[in-house]
Structures are given as structure tokens and as C-alpha cells.
Structure 1
Amino acid sequence: MENHEKKSYYNAKRRVNEVKNFYRNLVSYIIVNIFLFLINLFFSPGVWWFLIVLAIGGIFLFLQFLRLFVFKNKVLGNDWEERKIKEYMDNDKEY
């Protein structure tokens, strides 16, 4: 049972780090885009180039949000690695 608790702790810690990194990315995204908006506003107000950076960064942030909070690693879940290792080991036994 102790091994299971260690595994659960490791998975929970990994998940917390992923969520923490998402919030760091979100804050960085907001700060950088405010800064870029101000640069764009004062130095080239006719061309709104910062919107390109805003959109590209927003897409990546949205994908990270989906992976963390919507899909919650359903594709490559917590036990995916273990299942694949077992699958490959079983395949090796056949040969």
C-alpha cells in the first residue's frame, strides 16, 4: 500500500506543478501583452501588430487550459506510461 501512496503523491505533485505553471504562463501572458500593447500604442499606433502576438500566445494558452482542465490527460492519462510498458513487455514475451 505504501507504493500506491507514493505513486498517488507523485501524481498529485505533478498535477499541482502543471496547474501552477499554467497560472504562471497566464500572468506572464497578461503582463507581456500589456507591455506590447503600450509599445505598439506609443511607437506605431497605425498598425496593431501586438494583436498577432496576443492571438498566437492566446491559442497556446487555451490549448494548455484544455489539456489541464477539460481533458485532464484523458488521452495520455496518469497510468498511460505503465500501460505502454506492460504492453511492450507482453509483446516481448511473445517472441
Structure 2
Amino acid sequence: MDSKEKRKYERARKKVEEIKGFYTHLSIYLVINGLMLVAATGVFQDSFMPIHFPDWSYFTTPVFWGLAVFIHWFYVFRSPINPFKNWEERKIKQFMEEEENEFRNNSSSF
């Protein structure tokens, strides 16, 4: 496999890992917040009125965590306005150039 194909493969592999991470995050969000909402309604308590509407304070975790899930989705599925994409590419090129310069300096000293 030549270097161009290898780079394409690595980018594709990274993208798949990011998508998998997003779906894992979303699954955990749904399960945990579903259980929290069920617990907040009083289903697990023995009382005269077993189900009641939870207080608004029970919704802060799902709302803020939901915002984090949305940001994760926004990042993974690469919206047209992704400020991190160019930064990543620039950093990768910078590190590759630094490594090449270091290799040249070390090999020329012998």
C-alpha cells in the first residue's frame, strides 16, 4: 500500500471511530437520562400517587448533556462551519515538517 492510500485509509478509519464514538455517547445519554426521568416520576417508590410530574430541576442534566451531544454530533458529521478541521490539518503538517527537519539535522551530523 503506497503512502497516499495509507493516508486515505487512516482518515477513513479515524472517521469511523469518531462516528462510533458519537453513537456510543448518544446511546449512553438516552439510557441514563431515560432512567433518571423514570426515577424522577416516582415509579420506584411506594406512595399513594405512584407517578407524579418531576420538578424542573430534573431536566437540567438532560438539557445540558443534550447540548454536549449536539456539539459532538456537529463535530463528528463535519458541518460546513468547522473551525477545528483546518487547525488539525495545519498541526499535522507542522509536526510532519518538524519531524522531517529533525531527521535531516540528525542524519547530516554523522
User: Is it true that 1:59 corresponds to 2:67 in the alignment?
Assistant: yes
User: Is it true that 1:84 corresponds to 2:90 in the alignment?
Assistant: no
Q: When you count helix as a share of all residues, which structure comes out higher? A: 1
> 1:29 maps to what in 2?
29
Normalising by structure 2, report the TM-score. Answer: 0.66
The structure 1 segments of at least 4 consecutive aligned residues displaced by more than 6 Å after TM superposition are none
Contact 1:33–1:50, Cα closer than 8 Å, also in 2: no
One-letter code of the match for 1:51? F
One-letter code of the match for 1:63? I
> 1:40 maps to what in 2?
40
Task: Give me the identity figure in percent.
Answer: 22
Structure-2 change in CA distance of 1:75 and 1:41 (3 Å): farther
Structure-2 change in CA distance of 1:37 and 1:73 (3 Å): same
Q: Which runs of 5+ in 2 are unaligned?
A: 46-51, 102-110
> 1:93 maps to what in 2?
none
Contact 1:18–1:68, Cα closer than 8 Å, also in 2: yes
Contact 1:40–1:49, Cα closer than 8 Å, also in 2: no
Structure-2 change in CA distance of 1:66 and 1:75 (3 Å): farther
The structure with the larger Rg is 2
